[in-house]
Structure 1
Amino acid sequence: MITGVKRLLLFAAIASVGMTGVAHAADGVPGVDVSNWTGEIDWPAVAAGGGKFAFVQATEGTNYRNPLFDSQYGGAAAAGLIRGAYHFAQPHESDGRAQADYFLQNGGNWVSDGLTLPGVLDLEDNPYKERNGKNTCYGLSVQDMVAWIKDFTAKYYEATGRRAIIYTTTSWWRTCTGDSKKFAANPLWLARWGSEPGELPKSWKNYTFWQSAEKGPLVGGQNAFNGSESALKELANPPAEVRVSGRAKGRTSYSVTISNTGPHPVTNVKLSGRAFGGQRVVKAPGCKFSGTAVRCVVGELPRGRKATFTFTTKPRKAKGTVGMYVTVGSVKLTLKAR
């Protein structure tokens, strides 16, 4: 028996941008990052000065919310900037899922409005060493830190369908995660002040954002998106995506599952199939069928949900290869049995 798993982007996919290995400086698309310490901001002036995006601190740990978050976050959007929220991690205080949940409930949730970037997990040197008595890595071992980050990012993905952006320095990542390679799916926001980003942590072959200075000419930190303005917009509004899998359960039974693995609900997903090997379709619940052909339509599939179709066939011969060809959008599967 043969199974198949493929993915289908329902509209233009986001192309990877950036360099591999040691990254080099690039102008990119300018943006800023701000927090409570930045105060009230003249966002129209930021936009007029060329700023295209902003990251705004929303939360820290599970007991701090930026009191200026609403005005800063809303003001950036009102001025036409693409914006995202970030969470300053306190890994020693509570587990990753708890902090992700606090972030989601206090400004970090992603919405499909074309203006919202995925949320950011801010991981950096412990600034409260004298207060909490912890080291740079908040007292966590490499293994515990990697597990903590996994918990945070997994919770965020479950809630939004987006991969949280990770803000960090190469030095901190090497020291506190052992230069873990487990987070390549999460966009990197690299912090390195200077004229070049320098060497990247091993999880990443390119950076998505680069913070090159603590203060910039606009307001707050100086940042650049590593790509075009259109690619930045695509990061805020990614394509819908479905995963198509199928298997032959035997010579007379086949199943196909369509899973919505992207951040958007999808509608009007069409499946067409054709039996081969001298057999015909005799049963297909929820679908139309005639002879060797079958057609199914998923009217609406919410994010994180799936639809499974089962087809029963009647072979003309007891031996020989039989199966079904299945097409969902641009995805084609061949399910075979003997």
Structure 2
Amino acid sequence: MKHRAATAAAVTAGVLLLEGTQASALAESRAPGVTGTDVSNWTGEVDWAGAADAGAAFAFVHATEGLDYVSPRFTEQYGGAADAGLVRGAYHFAQPHESGGRAQADFFVANGGGLVRDGRTLPGVLDLEDNPYGKKNKLDNCYGLTPAEMVAWVGDFTRRYRQRTGRDAIIYTTTSWWRTCAGDSAAFGRNPLWLARWGSEPGELPAGWKRHAFWQSADKDPSFPGGQNSFNGTAAQLRALARPPSPIRLTGRVSGSTYTVTVTNTGNTPVTKLKVAGRTSGGQKIVKVGKGCRFSGTAVRCTITRLAPKATVKLTFKVGPAKPGTAGRGLTVTAGGAKLALTAR
């Protein structure tokens, strides 16, 4: 991917490690799967409607780098991709030698990499690749960090990003860079992998990942404004990745004939008109519920008008006696994408 100080020579040679594939051998056709692109300030003004018409379903947009750079075209590119109907995501070009990972995650979140609950924003990307400023900072391709130090830095960034957004950052890298600079660590398998390898096959994956989520197979696509990328899944799965995680957490307990469900808003913004639905099993019928709820037979529905950030609401449901010997007694509750199953003894 292109960074703030890219030169024409660097772009031609490819800032990334090419895994033995030269730019002259870029794929003639796109990789299979849902196709997309990646852009930066160097891409300039983008015809997003044209990209969408050409088949682009998603785009990654360069947002930040280190602790002191925000792409001057980020807002227009990021908004333009969304306006054209693309699923979009922001990426942060890591500078591990400049500061801790936590600080760079905060900078990224504050300047475009935060969570947007619109159903079309992908998790933010941590871009890890060769040090492009070696002549200036006199450091090697791993920014002067040992593999253990690099793994610790990536861990600090990804943990902080999850704390701030509730999402696992996507990691963009090449297999060779990861093996050299991160010691082929297997510690980040929960983070979606955006694999960079220019050619006709993705090749071997870094340790810790059984599959890639995205693949950058070329730095240019003849029909798109930037790099050639594909999502390793269906369009529905891509939309699911862009769906924000639920801030709702459900916990509960059973005491005799009473089920108590605690609904918590773990997010940083209020949740309004939250619908809570429950159903008993094992022959139990609901006989009494609290304010804001209504019931019929084995089903109950409640509405929480407003749930403030970090606030909780307790709901209580009382059931009548089940027939003797009835098995599988319990209550299943759903709310805001969260689900809870309680089992009665």
Give the TM interval when normalised to the shorter protein.
0.7 to 0.9
Judged with a 3 Å threshold, the aligned counterparts in structure 2 of structure 1 residues 333 and 66 are, in CA distance, closer, same or farther, namely same
Alignment of 1:68-147 (within 5 A): 68-147=73-152
Normalised by the length of structure 1, the TM-score is 0.73
Of Structure 1 and Structure 2, the greater strand share is in: 1
CA distance 1:296–1:40, shift in 2 (3 Å): closer
Question: Which residue matches 1:227?
Answer: 233
Quick one: higher RCO (CA 8 Å, sep 6+), 1 or 2?
A: 1
Between the aligned partners of 1:41 and 1:141, the Cα distance in structure 2 is 39
The residue matched to 2:32 in structure 1 has which SS? coil
Gaps of 5+ in 2: 1-29, 282-288, 319-328
| Pairing 1:159-308 to 2, within 5 Å after superposition | 159-217=164-222, 218-238=224-244, 240=246, 242-246=248-252, 257-259=262-264, 265=271, 267-270=274-277, 299=304, 305=310, 307=312
1:331 equivalent in structure 2: 340
What do residues 137-179 of structure 1 show as CA deviations (whole Å, max 9, x unaligned)?
Answer: 2122222222221221222222222221111111111222222
Query: Are 2:128 and 2:171, in contact at CA under 8 Å, matched by a contact in 1?
Result: yes
Quickly say closer, same or farther: Cα 1:256–1:141, change in 2 above 3 A: farther
Looking at structure 1, the residues matched to 171 and 235 of structure 2 have their Cα atoms a distance apart, in angstroms, of 20
SS at match of 1:86: strand
* Percent of aligned positions that are identical: 55
8 Å CA contact retained: 1:55, 1:83: yes
| Structure-2 change in CA distance of 1:71 and 1:111 (3 Å) | same
Q: Residue in 2 aligned with 1:12?
A: none
Contact 2:126 2:171 in 1 (8 A): yes
Residues 61 and 39 (structure 1), Cα distance of their counterparts in 2 relative to 1, 3 Å cut = same
Q: SS where residue 62 of structure 2 aligns?
A: strand
After TM superposition, give the deviation of residue 90 of structure 1 in Å. 0.4
Distance 1:91 1:208, change over 3 A: same
The count of corresponding residues between Structure 1 and Structure 2 is 301
Work out the CA distance in 2 between the residues paired with 1:226 and 1:115: 17
Aligned position for 1:66: 71
Would the alpha carbon gap of residues 155 and 212 (structure 1) be closer, same or farther in structure 2, given more than 3 Å must change? same
Bigger shift: residues 192-201 or 237-246: 237-246
Unaligned runs of 5+ in 1: 1-24, 275-283, 314-323
Q: Distance in 2 between matches of 1:287 and 1:35?
A: 50
Indicate how the Cα distance of structure 1 residues 113 and 242 shifts in structure 2: closer, same or farther if over 3 A, else same: closer
Q: Structure 1 residue 262: deviation in Å?
A: 8.4
Report the TM-score, using the length of structure 2 for normalisation: 0.72
Query: Which one-letter code corresponds to 1:67 in the other structure?
Result: P
The letter for the 2-side match of 1:61 is: G
1:45-64: per-residue Cα shift (whole Å, max 9, x none)? 21221111111100000101
Which position in structure 2 is the counterpart of 1:32? 37
- How far apart are the structure 2 equivalents of 1:185 and 1:47? 30
Cα deviation digits, residues 107-154 of structure 1 (max 9, x gap):
111211122111111011111122112222212222222222122122
Q: Distance in 2 between matches of 1:184 and 1:305?
A: 29
Q: Is the CA contact 1:83–1:115 (under 8 Å) kept in the aligned structure 2?
A: yes
Amino acid aligned to 2:117:
S
